[in-house]
């Protein structure tokens, strides 16, 4: 009986977010702009609301950084709903800011950018740099002077976010690590599809692919960072609190 009540409570907790996600993805598949325009601005606020509800008792910079990262992503969503190069650049800057804040959030919860971690995970550094260079060379012929320099910066930041998610291994719970890393990878996939569809060749069902990977990237990152942390991450937060007092 208790288990049934828990399932029911969880379902109602997520139902507004699920309804908005379904509406957006149906709109992407059907081409109904009314659905996509109505649902897209609601996705990040609902994900952020779920994160806040799960962590409202937490008072740490990690909690604040996560909310700020989602806020910048929401701004990016709004800008990319508009057409034109100016709005695309504003969207790019917004998501760049979101990724930077996510990096700092992950660093507060078990991640690291120390030389020893870079050396330990050098294979993933090589893979990330190789992928970034490959995608850049594919898109370079169609980039203007601004994006020619902006895109590598964006790639560097989002790949750094994914790398920091990798370095959380062993410092957070297994689920927190898996969810956050999966979300970071899906974010990278979503942005890659968006970039290639805009500056390379058209991709069938690009809107659906971009939004589905993006939505679940944000959801997984939210879930991964809302999960209880282990003693290492908790110790960092306690140290942080003691320093502020």
Under a CB-based contact definition with an 8 Å cutoff, are residues 88 and 80 in contact? yes
> Cα angle at 125 between 172 and 201, to 5 degrees?
110
Neighbours of 14 (CB within 10 A): 14
Tell me the C-alpha to C-alpha distance, in Å, between residue 169 and each of 116, 166, 227.
Answer: 14, 6, 14
Q: Given this model, what pLDDT does residue 70 score?
A: 97
pLDDT band at 241 (very low <50, low <70, confident <90, very high): low
Q: Given this model, what pLDDT does residue 239 score?
A: 52
Mean pLDDT value of segment 118-134: 95
Does the pLDDT at position 208 exceed 70?
A: yes
pLDDT band at 232 (very low <50, low <70, confident <90, very high): very low
Task: Quote the CA–CA distance of 61 and 240 in Å, as a whole number.
Answer: 9
User: For 136-164, what is each residue's pLDDT tens digit?
Assistant: 999 999 999 889 999 999 999 999 999 99
Does the pLDDT at position 4 exceed 50?
A: no
Does the pLDDT at position 76 exceed 60?
A: yes
- Provide the residue range defining the domain that includes 183: 2-244
| pTM metric for this prediction | 0.86
Q: Given this model, what pLDDT does residue 56 score?
A: 72
Task: Quote the CA–CA distance of 200 and 217 in Å, as a whole number.
Answer: 23
Does residue 205 come out as left (phi exceeding 0), alpha (psi in the -120 to 50 range) or beta?
Answer: left
pLDDT band at 244 (very low <50, low <70, confident <90, very high): low
Instruction: Supply the mean pLDDT for the chain.
Output: 88
Task: Quote the CA–CA distance of 149 and 151 in Å, as a whole number.
Answer: 6
Tell me the C-alpha to C-alpha distance, in Å, between residue 111 and each of 79, 114, 160, 179, 233.
Answer: 30, 9, 11, 14, 9
pLDDT band at 15 (very low <50, low <70, confident <90, very high): confident
Helix (H, G, I), strand (E, B) or coil at 83: coil
Give the chain's domain count.
1
């Amino acid at each position: 009986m208790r288990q049934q009540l828990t399932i029911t409570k969880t379902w109602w907790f997520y139902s507004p977010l699920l309804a908005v996600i379904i509406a957006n993805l149906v709109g992407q598949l059907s081409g109904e702009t009314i659905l996509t325009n109505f649902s897209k601005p609601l996705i990040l606020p609902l994900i952020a609301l779920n994160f806040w509800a799960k962590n409202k008792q937490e008072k740490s910079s990690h909690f604040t950084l996560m909310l700020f990262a989602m806020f910048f992503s929401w701004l990016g969503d709004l800008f990319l709903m508009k057409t034109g190069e100016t709005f695309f650049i504003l969207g790019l800057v917004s998501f760049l800011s979101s990724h930077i804040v996510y990096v700092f959030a992950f660093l507060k919860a078990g991640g690291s950018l120390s030389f020893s971690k870079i050396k330990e995970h050098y294979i993933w550094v090589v893979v990330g740099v190789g992928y970034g260079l490959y995608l850049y060379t594919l898109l370079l012929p169609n980039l203007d002077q601004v994006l020619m320099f902006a895109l590598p910066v964006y790639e560097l930041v989002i790949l750094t976010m994914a790398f920091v998610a990798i370095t959380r291994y062993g410092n957070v719970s297994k689920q927190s690590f898996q969810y956050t890393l999966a979300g970071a990878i899906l974010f990278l996939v979503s942005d890659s599809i968006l970039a290639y569809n805009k500056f390379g060749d058209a991709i069938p069902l690009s809107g659906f692919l971009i939004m589905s990977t993006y939505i679940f990237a944000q959801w997984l990152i939210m879930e991964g960072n809302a999960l209880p942390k282990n003693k290492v991450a908790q110790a960092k937060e306690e140290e942080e609190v003691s320093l502020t007092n």
